Structure 1
Amino acid sequence: MALEAPLSEDFHNLMPERQKKLTCFSPNRPQEKTRPFGCSLCSLLLFFLNLATLPVWAQKPEQSQAERQKTLKQRLEAKVQDFLRDPATLAPGLQIGVITPQGKSYLAWGSLWHGKDVPPQPDTLYELASLTKPFTALLLAQLFVEGQVKLNDPVKPCSPTETSVWCFRGQPLTWLDLLTHSSGLPSLPENLDLGDPQATRRYSPQDLAAFEQGFKRTVPAPTDFGYSTLGYGLLGQLLAEKTGLSFASQIEDLTARLGLPDTRLQLSSEQFQRLAPGYIRTQLVPYFADEGGLSASGGLKSTPRDLLDFLAQILQIEQAPSSPLLVKTLAQTTQLTGRRGAPFCQMAWGWQYFTPAGVYWHSGSAAGGKAFLAFEPQRQIGVVILSNARVQGFKMEPLGLHVLELLGEMEPNK
């Protein structure tokens, strides 16, 4: 799991002047040192939305699902090949899963391995990295729907003068602050080895406890948006304390009720055989099991099949297989919280809502992989993109928006 890099200065210089003037953080609000994750990406997505010239092409209502899938793959071929051949990426392969009211499609390019012909499959497992966060937010939404928490409740009580991870001069941190990346906490804990590409996986609950014991806040919450992997790691810990169940057991129960058997923190031996090997360009990345300190921020693995099944329930194309309560919980996660994510984005429950396109999205970067998921409820369309290669910068996200735009144009009623 790794944070996406900020927008490059070169790319920033290409943006319209009105976009350059927009910043993530208000100069009048205090802020811990954080990384402008959301600002960079949402600005970049708007840039592509403004400049993209997408083809308009007629579709016949009677076109079969197989024909639609073939046409979509043809339309994506050039952009996907550009992605795979990028010298900074050199991904061995890529999967794109899409869902519309007409059904699901799985599109695959390349191989799971450099030098071998092993095409990726819908049941291939990939690391989700930060795409774990919407699932963590779903656990909080479940407690909210059940009436066990209120978003403005303090996560822990504070004495009048206390300053700690949870308090600033007696002012408490709330569930809403952690949920929306407005806690003012650093992006990553200070006792994390930033020189280790697998540092977030090696980070243990004991490491998190040591950080919590020694850290003192310098600003009150809420702050402006500041993406915090640390904040969601702490959110997972708080969910465990609130329920008396480990975060791992809560996620296992949640994904079982959603009917997502391959969305797991810990893999069985059979699932491990289906896990895509990670790459940094052509170099294999050794696999390290997640030690649990930041699992709630980036520990999940999943498949294209599971993620499209998840989207089908969010988009209400299919009903959640368990209870009306879970249906209500899924709907809650698309409600906006009233907190700004970044220019052009607002915060929902774990998702950022990209206002110009009406799209909810999240992505994740691992040492040897990249994941992206986005959906548009109004048109009931969604996309999942997964690759087992490190992707520097924001290259997968514009591809995902392009897929959504093509899906919208392919609707039979257009």
Structure 2
Amino acid sequence: MIVTITPHIIVLLRKTVFYPMLLLPVFAQGQINHSAYEAMKDTIVSKFNHGDYKAIYRLFDTSFSNKISQPKLVNFLKGNQNSGKIVASSFLAEDKGKVSYLLEFELRDMIMDLQLTYDNKISSFGLKSAPLVFLSEPPVVKSDNSLRSALDKAVDSAAAEYFKYSKANSLVIGIIKAGKKHIYFYGETEKGNNKLPTSGTLYEIGSITKTFTATLLAQAVLDKKVSLTDDIRKYLHGNYDNLSYNSMPITLRDLANHTSRLPAMPEDIGEQPDYNPVSPEAHYDSTLFYNALKKVTLDTIPGYKFLYSNWGTSLLGHILEKVYGHSQADLVRRFITGPLEMNNTMYITNEDGYDIAHPHSENGRRLTVSNQGYFSPAGGLCSTVNDMLNYLDAQLKEINAAIKLTHAPTINNMGLGWGVRKGRVTRHLEHNGSEQGSTAHISAFPERNSGCVILVNNRVNLGKLIVRIQEIAKEDSYK
């Protein structure tokens, strides 16, 4: 055995934090006891899957535990609950007395680094996201793109870049250009099924649902049922003195433009009965929802500082349910999907009988459509490209006063529900949607009568694809 000086590393929520230099006893390279490492890895996996994080802490050597407290490690491990359970593990590499393992969680892959002392205690530990795998060349994928026009070819080039992502399944791109609709289908709805998506294939649209809820708010304002400046406590039962700061209350507008200062989600979301990180909202009922709301402490005056909040939009949806005396689903049908002939846009509670592009996690595992439960006003809708192009067309034409009101700037480049930016030539309205296994985007450029919709059944960063399709939608040379 030799003694070396190494930096102690622990990766917290995808950020690497370096702790002071430590004297760590490690085996010289070539003397690693692989069976001891395998046993330790299996022990960690088992205890993590059972939520026994304190037991994991007890596996550490004092050289670690003297620097990292039990609550800190427990909170870190609990923070990784949102990756799901560990379903598989394998050896990756050995380097300078450290062994790395690939841990396949239900929702993503992570890399665990381990270093053990001579008596098989953990002296160094790291957990970080595994890098996504991209191909050097785009694969050949099924498509209905005829490649006849400059527009077709530009879209195909953008799609080819997307399919370098090795876990990609299907991709649907819808474009309205100078008022004309164009639709392109790529890939297969599930690896190996050879089934190209169609105009009737349902995709989760995630947080784009927030623009629907905001439209319901705008409708309620026009119906004179509410005012944007109403104190939300007017619509809540019980005492919520905490929902103000320096006597400034949260308003309905604050919920719609993410300036309420409500957190993204309740802090106790992981404490609900039957908590499942793959579907974290499923069992968080109205009682938990409003009890947590009573415990919130605002950090500043509402209405000014942006803080994206699923909780806030969900609360807005339920307030509107009380105002109208109807469910969110009924209100969406009555005011949005019915008038716009979006007959395949809905909240799905049972997948049977639907043509669904099943969601797939970041590491390619098939999932079911997410159960948003009481948070469905913030992200529960499924839709098709045909329906979403109808929705996009309505935004471009601003066909009614409610839609137009949602586009009116409020603060921080936000309208009601929509991101709103003013360019030199046109406004840019947009929203993204992301679930555990799906990603979606919508952009509208009203003054150009152009825009785009992107739907995929993978959890993936669509940033580059979005920018390129936006350019194609706006650029006059692509016809």
What's the TM-score once normalised by structure 1's chain length? 0.72
Residues 222 and 143 from structure 1, CA distance in 2 versus in 1: closer, same or farther, beyond 3 angstroms? same
Any idea what the Cα deviations from partners look like across 1:336-358, whole Å, max 9, x if unmatched?
12x11xxxxx1112110133473
Residue in structure 2 matched with residue 400 of structure 1 by the alignment: 466
Residue in structure 2 matched with residue 354 of structure 1 by the alignment: 421
Given the alignment of the two structures, is residue 137 of structure 1 paired with residue 214 of structure 2, yes or no?
Answer: yes
Question: 2:190 & 2:150 partners in 1: Cα distance?
Answer: 26
Question: 1:94 & 1:286 partners in 2: Cα distance?
Answer: 17
Residue in structure 2 matched with residue 265 of structure 1 by the alignment: 347
User: Offset of 1:328 from its aligned partner?
Assistant: 1.7
Q: Quick one: which of 61, 80, 97 aligns to 2:159?
A: 80
Aligned length: 330
Residue in structure 2 matched with residue 300 of structure 1 by the alignment: 381
Residue in structure 2 matched with residue 370 of structure 1 by the alignment: 439
Question: Equivalent residue of 1:85, what SS?
Answer: coil
Question: 2:363 & 2:234 partners in 1: Cα distance?
Answer: 50
User: Offset of 1:125 from its aligned partner?
Assistant: 0.4
CA RMSD of aligned residues (A): 3.0
Structure 2: runs of 5+ lacking an equivalent: 1-12, 17-144
Residues 127 and 203 from structure 1, CA distance in 2 versus in 1: closer, same or farther, beyond 3 angstroms? farther
**Does the 8 Å CA contact 1:163/1:216 hold for their aligned counterparts?**
no
Question: Equivalent residue of 1:241, what SS?
Answer: helix
More helix by share: 1
Residues 69 and 303 from structure 1, CA distance in 2 versus in 1: closer, same or farther, beyond 3 angstroms? farther
**Does the 8 Å CA contact 1:91/1:281 hold for their aligned counterparts?**
no
User: Offset of 1:189 from its aligned partner?
Assistant: 1.0
User: Offset of 1:370 from its aligned partner?
Assistant: 0.1
User: Offset of 1:274 from its aligned partner?
Assistant: 0.8
**Does the 8 Å CA contact 2:452/2:473 hold for their aligned counterparts?**
no
User: Offset of 1:212 from its aligned partner?
Assistant: 2.2
**Does the 8 Å CA contact 1:381/1:404 hold for their aligned counterparts?**
no
Question: 1:150 & 1:290 partners in 2: Cα distance?
Answer: 31
Deviates more, 1:138-147 or 1:375-384: 138-147
User: Offset of 1:128 from its aligned partner?
Assistant: 0.9
Any idea what the Cα deviations from partners look like across 1:185-235, whole Å, max 9, x if unmatched?
111111212981321344333331232243343433124111111110111
Question: Equivalent residue of 1:294, what SS?
Answer: helix
Write out aligned runs for 1:104-253 (5 A): 104-157=181-234, 164=241, 166-168=243-245, 170-193=247-270, 196-253=277-334
Residues 171 and 268 from structure 1, CA distance in 2 versus in 1: closer, same or farther, beyond 3 angstroms? same
**Does the 8 Å CA contact 1:204/1:294 hold for their aligned counterparts?**
no
Any idea what the Cα deviations from partners look like across 1:96-123, whole Å, max 9, x if unmatched?
0011235211111111011221001111
Question: 2:173 & 2:282 partners in 1: Cα distance?
Answer: 26
Any idea what the Cα deviations from partners look like across 1:300-338, whole Å, max 9, x if unmatched?
11010000011112222xx96xxxxxx22122221112x
Residues 263 and 150 from structure 1, CA distance in 2 versus in 1: closer, same or farther, beyond 3 angstroms? same
Residue in structure 2 matched with residue 21 of structure 1 by the alignment: none
1:151 corresponds to which letter in structure 2? L
User: Offset of 1:284 from its aligned partner?
Assistant: 3.0
Given the alignment of the two structures, is residue 283 of structure 1 paired with residue 364 of structure 2, yes or no?
Answer: yes
Q: Quick one: which of 383, 390, 397 aligns to 2:459?
A: 390
Question: 2:280 & 2:349 partners in 1: Cα distance?
Answer: 20
Residue in structure 2 matched with residue 23 of structure 1 by the alignment: none
**Does the 8 Å CA contact 1:206/1:293 hold for their aligned counterparts?**
no
Question: 2:312 & 2:148 partners in 1: Cα distance?
Answer: 40
Structure 1: runs of 5+ lacking an equivalent: 1-5, 10-65, 321-326, 341-345
**Does the 8 Å CA contact 1:168/1:219 hold for their aligned counterparts?**
yes
Residues 115 and 68 from structure 1, CA distance in 2 versus in 1: closer, same or farther, beyond 3 angstroms? closer
**Does the 8 Å CA contact 1:163/1:169 hold for their aligned counterparts?**
no
2:345 corresponds to which letter in structure 1? T
Which has the higher relative contact order, 1 or 2, with Cα contacts under 8 A spaced 6 or more apart? 1
Question: 1:410 & 1:67 partners in 2: Cα distance?
Answer: 20
Question: Equivalent residue of 1:278, what SS?
Answer: coil
**Does the 8 Å CA contact 1:122/1:305 hold for their aligned counterparts?**
yes
User: Offset of 1:263 from its aligned partner?
Assistant: 1.0
**Does the 8 Å CA contact 1:127/1:299 hold for their aligned counterparts?**
yes
1:78 corresponds to which letter in structure 2? S
1:403 corresponds to which letter in structure 2? I
Any idea what the Cα deviations from partners look like across 1:157-192, whole Å, max 9, x if unmatched?
49xxx7645333543211111111001111111121
Residues 163 and 213 from structure 1, CA distance in 2 versus in 1: closer, same or farther, beyond 3 angstroms? closer
User: Offset of 1:285 from its aligned partner?
Assistant: 3.3
User: Offset of 1:237 from its aligned partner?
Assistant: 1.3
Given the alignment of the two structures, is residue 313 of structure 1 paired with residue 394 of structure 2, yes or no?
Answer: yes
1:351 corresponds to which letter in structure 2? W
Sequence identity percentage: 26
> Which structure has the bigger radius of gyration?
2
Question: 1:399 & 1:278 partners in 2: Cα distance?
Answer: 19
Any idea what the Cα deviations from partners look like across 1:255-294, whole Å, max 9, x if unmatched?
2222111111136766x53111111256333315525310
